[in-house]
Amino acid sequence: MPEQPFRDAAHRTADLVADYLAAVPTGPVWQPMDPAARQALLTAPLPHAGRPLDELLTAVAADVLPAPMGNGHPRFFGWVNSAPAEAGVLATLTAAAMNPSSAGGDHADVHLERTVVRWIAELVGFPHPPGGGLLTSGTSMATIVCLTAARGRAAAAAGWDVRADGLAGLPPLVGYVSGETHSCVRKAAELLGLGSRQLRVLATDAEGRLDPRALRAAVAEDRAAGRLPFLVVASAGTVNTGAVDRFEPIADVCAEQGLWLHVDGAYGAFGVLDPQIAHRYAGLARADSLALDPHKWLGVPVDCGCALVRDPQALRETFSLVPAYLRDEEGDQLGWFSEYGTEQTRPFRSLKVWATIAHRGRDGIAADIATCTRLARRLGELVGADPALELMAPVETSIVAFRARPAGLDAAALDALNQALPAAVQRRGRAFLTGTVLGGHEAVRACLLNATTTERDLDVLLAEVRAAAAELTTRQ
């Protein structure tokens, strides 16, 4: 590689990226792509001759950077997608330059991953025995990793070697979730051959939390029918409303019944860093496994999930293809990450996590999280104070679920209005939120993950919601 063209292009990349990030807050949050620009991206022919780096940068500046998703903007409140942490952005370039496979071995990336997994566990107060976790592409994959371990443990307890024999012949393994459980749990159950029908959807209380009495009753019923209850999935922040399950009573039932407790903390686990809401997370550390997403509230550039497990051996028994007699030779008793999860060649994710956490420190991260929850509570108050808006759930973490409720509309018209509302707000370009269905009603939700968002931005968001609702009702 000739050095000078690369160096020049790298400097220009740094400028492009810095200019891009500096301009994000003053531009539209999102706008539909220009049809010709979209078509050009979709139909670009395979290039036969190569082009110099400099020309590629010109193309990126012209065709890619002008059409972002919007999630870098302080008024982006959609789904659970954060702005990138700047230290993490820089780390991705260095990680790519080294380009190791973080499967195992004695190089910096492997050791750094052990440390950042320990840091993540420390941040959320989860126990961290050496080897008790690894970085993944996201929580969907972390959930597959954790639930595979749970399945293996449960089968072994029934005298069954699921790795060798599969599930056929074993009584059904049954898991318990709530109606607010993220779809990635169902996807994992389907992939693991458990069958989504073997996930019992339990009743929730008025705040959308899993009911431990319903859990105990369902376990008894399944046992009486000869099935094998093995798993409970609780939420440390649901995606619809940010509700946090009560872990203590659920962990009590799990301990009493010998069930694996998995917590989905993808969005909300880091909320425990805010002293104002930390009490909601009591008992989180009693879980057998926790899946969470540094690429959400921490702002680590996508992709980065994390699987944490109480007993590292549960992972190794599940995934290792290294015979026991070959392990523990050279003093690295933990072995390779590829013995603890699904991937063999693994990306160098740990550098962007290290950079993100090291740049802000625990205190800076905790302050950012507290800013988001404070803004969410403020938004909840503003919604509550407007008779034409209705708060749909208590604000527990940093998600605010609400709907427009102008006077004089019946239930069907309200649903139609609120279903159309997110796209109408998005099209206006000044704020971005997304929709959901809560208790059978169409609703919108705003997820606050960006600590540079201000109260003024919340005013703009609600002004945009009101304006979009007015547009839609006059059109009806």
Where do contacts with ligand PLP occur on this chain (CB under 6 A)?
A: 80, 138-140, 182, 184, 239, 264, 266-267, 293, 305
Q: CB nearer to ligand PLP: give 104 or 347.
A: 347
Asked if 251 and 261 touch (Cβ cutoff 8 Å), the reply is yes
Residue ranges of the alpha helices (H) in 225-300? 247-257
Structure tokens at 25: 């807050």
Check the CA dihedral 239-242-246-248 and report its sign: positive
Asked if 282 and 248 touch (Cβ cutoff 8 Å), the reply is yes
Location of structure tokens 């072995």? 335
Q: CB nearer to ligand PLP: give 176 or 267.
A: 267
Residue 130 CB, shortest distance to ligand PLP, in Å, is: 25
DSSP code at position 63? I
Give the pairing of strands 228-235 and 173-178: parallel
Residue 433 CB, shortest distance to ligand PLP, in Å, is: 15
3-state secondary structure at position 173 = strand
Residue 293 CB, shortest distance to ligand PLP, in Å, is: 5
Q: CB nearer to ligand PLP: give 91 or 184.
A: 184
Sequence-distant (6+) residues with CB within 8 A of 256 are none
Residue 361 CB, shortest distance to ligand PLP, in Å, is: 24
Residue 219 CB, shortest distance to ligand PLP, in Å, is: 23
Q: CB nearer to ligand PLP: give 222 or 264.
A: 264
Q: CB nearer to ligand PLP: give 373 or 389.
A: 373
Could you give the C-alpha distances from 377 to 236, 371, 372, 381, 404, in angstroms and in order? 18, 10, 9, 6, 18
Q: CB nearer to ligand PLP: give 194 or 266.
A: 266
Side-chain half-sphere CA neighbours of 419 within 13 A: 10
Residue 301 CB, shortest distance to ligand PLP, in Å, is: 13
Q: CB nearer to ligand PLP: give 313 or 342.
A: 342
What does the angle CA 312 – CA 255 – CA 292 come to, to the nearest 5 degrees?
45
- Three-state SS for 391-423 is ECCCCCCCEEEEEECCCCCCHHHHHHHHHHHHH
Name the CA radius of gyration of the chain, rounded.
24
Asked if 121 and 128 touch (Cβ cutoff 8 Å), the reply is yes
Tell the burial category of 390 from Cβ atoms under 10 Å away from its Cβ (0-12, 13-18, 19+): middle
Q: CB nearer to ligand PLP: give 238 or 338.
A: 238
What does the angle CA 420 – CA 83 – CA 452 come to, to the nearest 5 degrees?
95
Residue 8 CB, shortest distance to ligand PLP, in Å, is: 36
Residue 265 CB, shortest distance to ligand PLP, in Å, is: 8
Q: CB nearer to ligand PLP: give 143 or 428.
A: 143
Across the chain, how many H-helices and E-strands are there? 14, 11
Asked if 169 and 307 touch (Cβ cutoff 8 Å), the reply is no
Nearest to 314 by CA among 332, 340, 286, 285: 340
Residue 415 CB, shortest distance to ligand PLP, in Å, is: 24
Residue 126 CB, shortest distance to ligand PLP, in Å, is: 16
Q: CB nearer to ligand PLP: give 293 or 339.
A: 293
Give the phi and the psi of residue 229 in degrees, each rounded to 5: -60, 135
Location of structure tokens 């690894």? 134
Residue 122 CB, shortest distance to ligand PLP, in Å, is: 21
Q: CB nearer to ligand PLP: give 81 or 102.
A: 81
